[in-house]
Amino acid sequence: MATAGEIQFPEPIIHHLQSFLTRKEAARTTIVSKSWHSAWSTRPNLDFKERPCDYSRIDEFSKYAKKTIKRYEQSNLKIESFKLCMKINWYGRVDLAKKLIVKALKIGATRLSLRLNDRSNRFVLPHEVVFGAENLIGLSVKGCTINPDDDEMVIKCSRLESLSLDEVYIPSDLVSNIISSCPLIENLSLLSYTYSDYEYDDDEIENNGYEEAVGLVNNLGRLRCLVLGSVSFEKLFSGDDLLSKLPFLEDFTLYLERNNFEEVDIQISNCSLERIKLELEDQRHMHSSGKRPRVKLDVPSIRKFTFEGDVIPSLSLISTPYSSREWESYVSVKCQRYGGPTAFWFGELCEFLTTLRQSKTHLSLLVDNHNWTSFDYKVRDNIIQGLRKHELESLAINMRGIPSLNCYALLDGLFRLCRPKMITQYDKQQRYHSKYKRNIDFLCLTLEQGMKVKVSRPSQFMYGLNDLEEVNAQSFDVEWRPIPLESLLDIADEQQHQRVRLLLKWKPS
């Protein structure tokens, strides 16, 4: 019964409201009323998350998980989803994880999310139970081995709509077998999974991966979201143009980590694709001009393009989006190479932004290198002065521990190639960089100087600010509020966190 003044919600509605909260937040709702407490005790979404590095509470976590599952079994309560995040550091924990997974499926779980910290590869997924669950709709696994003893694994989860494998050891042909048995898959994520058939050499594995890719595409006619991070699937994007055979694909993400991008060609072609995310990481952080990956996009329905990485590719658009469509680009570039960003680097960035000029572009830069001794001024005269300026919706800059002169040199090159409408900063003075100024200090001093002093020759410092008309500063507390630009320099050092933005007005080009 509801108490006086209490609004009584049906239990399914309370369950639905609690599902939008974190586990800890949802648990706190038990104090609202008896009905909310009862709803928490019968929630259909079980979430067991062990705190990392909290070894003192390992036994407490095990007891809580087993007690909760037992209560659901004894009360004949059903669940819809089951999430398990725990560390597998000895064989007793392997048994616990397996028992929890098996029991979760027995009490009705149709969605499984498993995050297992298993560096010793002790945990083998109970595949006969998981892939034998006919009502399974979603499966997300990170950190385990899937290696059936039998030559053929019986797959009964034909209703599966979402599959995610990350840091999983699995036989080379099993992924294709799973997908061919689950024709309803709409969301597929394959990240850094490793073949467990060690008798293959690298070429055989790559060829097997390509054959898998062909079979994968032929069995994924309903696919809407695809995330790939496996090297074996690189051939998807050259030659046969397999992505074009997915008629309903809307989201595509590709992660690549390489020591050498010189021979990497990526072609993404699909008429229905609306969102693309591309992340490239040079594992050596030694990328140099002339050895960039080449990326070609043939995506007339694109609405959002996201790039993240520390190597800037050579980008080309084979087809442009439909004229009536507005689309956005979010570019996040890390510069962590030895010697800092050179004039060639600015030239590569300018070329990349030029290709995206039809979109509303947002740029984020992270420059992090304590060994950056000087900017490439000699080459700058030939390259930086000729850069085309790009309109940016927003710009975010994070310069970590870089000496003052190099920060000003970075801003000099940056304002020669772009005209941001807004610069956003979340400034944090880090202790080990305390001898350096904050990012916002460099920005304010640079912009103030650009407003006061106009230079006439392209070779002069801060020539890129010649067409800057006005700068307005705002800081965020509960809401954005205007503040004088000069006041940003007077903020006390003890304010470790500050979120500010600068609104820039430029002269018509």
pLDDT tens-place string over residues 250-291:
999 999 887 666 667 888 999 999 999 999 987 665 555 457
* 422-428 and 497-506 beta bridge pairing: antiparallel
pLDDT, position 45: 86
* 480-483 and 304-309 beta bridge pairing: unpaired
Measured distance CA(313)–CA(281) in Å, rounded: 11
In terms of Cα–Cα distance, which of 175, 218, 212, 216 is closest to 193? 175
pLDDT, position 5: 54
pLDDT, position 487: 76
* 45-49 and 81-87 beta bridge pairing: parallel
Contact 156, 133 (CB under 8 A): yes
Measured distance CA(146)–CA(124) in Å, rounded: 6
Residue with tokens 């990481």: 281
pLDDT, position 200: 42
Measured distance CA(483)–CA(472) in Å, rounded: 8
Contact 351, 319 (CB under 8 A): no
Residue with tokens 């696994």: 141
In terms of Cα–Cα distance, which of 222, 141, 155 is closest to 189? 141
The helix (run of H) or strand (run of E) holding residue 77 is none
pLDDT, position 422: 95
Residue with tokens 């809307």: 250
pLDDT, position 205: 42
Give the start-end residues of each E strand in 174-327. Answer: 187-191, 194-195, 225-228, 251-258, 265-269, 275-282, 294-298, 304-309, 314-319
Neighbouring CB atoms inside 10 A of 409's CB total 21
In terms of Cα–Cα distance, which of 228, 269, 225, 277 is closest to 251? 225
pLDDT, position 64: 87
Measured distance CA(25)–CA(18) in Å, rounded: 8
pLDDT, position 389: 84
Residue with tokens 């979120």: 499
Name the packing angle between helices 343-355 and 404-417 (round to 10°).
30
Residues 269-301: b if buried by 16+ CB within 10 A, e if exposed: bbeebbbbbbbbbbeeeebeeeebbbbbbbbbb
The SS3 call for residue 464 is helix
pLDDT, position 283: 66
Residue with tokens 């950056």: 372
User: Widest CA span of the chain, in angstroms?
Assistant: 82
In terms of Cα–Cα distance, which of 285, 403, 274 is closest to 326? 274
The helix (run of H) or strand (run of E) holding residue 487 is none
| Torsion-angle region of 121 (φ positive above 0: left; ψ -120 to 50: alpha; else: beta) | left
List pLDDT tens digits, range 98-140.
999 999 999 999 999 999 987 777 788 999 999 999 999 999 9
pLDDT, position 285: 56
The SS3 call for residue 267 is strand
pLDDT tens for the chain, residues 1 to 509: 455 555 677 767 776 666 666 666 666 776 676 767 666 667 888 888 887 655 556 778 889 899 999 999 998 989 999 999 998 877 678 899 999 999 999 999 999 999 998 777 778 899 999 999 999 999 999 988 888 766 667 899 999 999 999 988 888 778 888 988 999 999 999 887 665 544 444 444 444 445 555 666 677 889 999 998 865 555 455 545 678 889 999 999 999 887 666 667 888 999 999 999 999 987 665 555 457 888 999 999 999 999 999 889 999 998 877 666 789 999 999 887 655 677 778 888 999 999 999 999 999 998 876 555 555 555 445 555 656 789 999 999 887 767 777 788 888 888 888 999 999 875 554 444 444 456 677 788 888 888 787 777 777 778 888 889 999 988 887 888 998 887 776 654 445 556 788 999 998 87
Structure tokens at 105: 């499926």
pLDDT, position 420: 95
Handedness of CA 339, 341, 342, 348 (dihedral sign): positive
Residue with tokens 């927003």: 394
Amino acid, single-letter form, for residue 503: L
Percent of residues in the chain assigned helix, strand, coil, to nearest 5: 30, 30, 40
SS (H, E, C) 295-357: EEEECCCCCEEEEEECCCCEEEEEECCCCCCCCEEEEEEEECCCCCCCHHHHHHHHHHHHHCC
